[in-house]
Structure 1
């Protein structure tokens, strides 16, 4: 009985996606959702990705999102926000890693290497010691990484991270928020590739200013 229910649920999900895409356009409430409150202070064409280094779906979305962003003219304003719930120590630790790399202007370059280390190699980059050791294997400036990791700027960014996630009204990761108005996720549409397709639609529907 349970298997039958699961099969019916899976079928209904597929049918919903197919119906939503039948006219060639993603549909609000199906492939994407409108935020209850528009995020203030963002450009109409800003694309914000709320992600987590130890999330398989965030890993799957990373490369397609990068490739999509590289194809946009004029250049898309791609903002990355580490997903943090204050009571989740690993999320806090990975936010510190992200902001450390961001301070050194390495967050984009090192995104895939971090995902590979965490998701493929099972490394836990959740302490200064493990991060510094990983940085050495990547050929990074270990002293610079150590200084950034313990800096007041990174401390402040990590402390503000949970509120920033809430500001973007995100409850799952990864989530992509377009123009501070609409959000979509792989969980909603079924895959990283489908997420990028919906993102592309939302992005190009935004005003050009």
Structure 2
């Protein structure tokens, strides 16, 4: 019985190792042609490119939140809103307003649910001002932040980074400015963070 148990454990270990070894450029992830500088070179940076209005981002969100709960101390996780269409701009601005007010973690789930479960439109400044009022943010304060220099500067920085990554859709996970992982490259949402973990370890070994 002990020998059988040992054999099963060994078989599982070999299987997992083989699966990890299968990940390569074009199979699991795509290597970014020119690496993009990260915010903190002492950390391994993981960034999700997303859009609140994206159904695939909404479906991935529970996996993102579960994965980031136990982040190792050497991993730095960030969200990066994309603007690939005219209707995306309001949502990107909403992200940065919430971030500047220190409440993105509080409103994130509700924004997703409002759009994808309640089917309410949050694609305008007025609609978002009403939404943020539910969290104690006055209309004047929201509108001040919405069109602020800080928000517009971050939008430009995000756009420049996303272009440098070569990302063309959402959701996408960038690992250390070097690798792009998506449901397409990883063969499904459920595999995305398996590939991300593999790439984190790859970066650690460097």
Q: Determine which structure has more spread, i.e. the larger CA radius of gyration.
A: 2
TM over 0.5: yes
The aligned residue for residue 192 of structure 1 is 189
Match of residue 18, structure 2, among 20, 23, 32: 23
The aligned residue for residue 11 of structure 1 is none
Alignment deviations for residues 146-183 of structure 1 (CA, whole Å, 9 cap, x no partner): 33112221122234432221022211111101011111
1:145 aligns to 2:150 (yes or no) = no
Shift of residue 62 of structure 1?
Answer: 1.7
C-alpha contact 1:49 1:80 (8 A) present in aligned 2: yes
- Give the secondary-structure state (helix, strand or coil) at the position aligned to 1:71: coil
The aligned residue for residue 133 of structure 1 is 130
Alignment deviations for residues 112-150 of structure 1 (CA, whole Å, 9 cap, x no partner): 11111112222221222100111223x332243333112
Pick closer, same or farther for the CA change 1:79–1:121 going to 2, 3 Å: same
Quote the Cα distance in structure 2 between the aligned partners of 1:80 and 1:159: 15
The aligned residue for residue 57 of structure 1 is 56
Alignment deviations for residues 34-57 of structure 1 (CA, whole Å, 9 cap, x no partner): 111111244351001111111111
Pick closer, same or farther for the CA change 1:182–1:161 going to 2, 3 Å: closer
1:122 aligns to 2:119 (yes or no) = yes
Quote the Cα distance in structure 2 between the aligned partners of 1:60 and 1:107: 18
Report the TM-score, using the length of structure 2 for normalisation.
0.81
The aligned residue for residue 76 of structure 1 is 75
Q: Which runs of 5+ in 1 are unaligned?
A: 1-20
The aligned residue for residue 89 of structure 1 is 86
- Give the secondary-structure state (helix, strand or coil) at the position aligned to 1:123: coil
Shift of residue 208 of structure 1?
Answer: 7.1
How many residue pairs get aligned? The number is 187
User: Aligned-pair RMSD on alpha carbons?
Assistant: 2.3
Quote the Cα distance in structure 2 between the aligned partners of 1:150 and 1:67: 33
Report the TM-score, using the length of structure 1 for normalisation.
0.80
- Give the secondary-structure state (helix, strand or coil) at the position aligned to 2:199: helix
Quote the Cα distance in structure 1 between the aligned partners of 2:187 and 2:138: 39
- Give the secondary-structure state (helix, strand or coil) at the position aligned to 1:205: helix
Match of residue 112, structure 1, among 93, 100, 109: 109
Q: Which runs of 5+ in 2 are unaligned?
A: 1-15
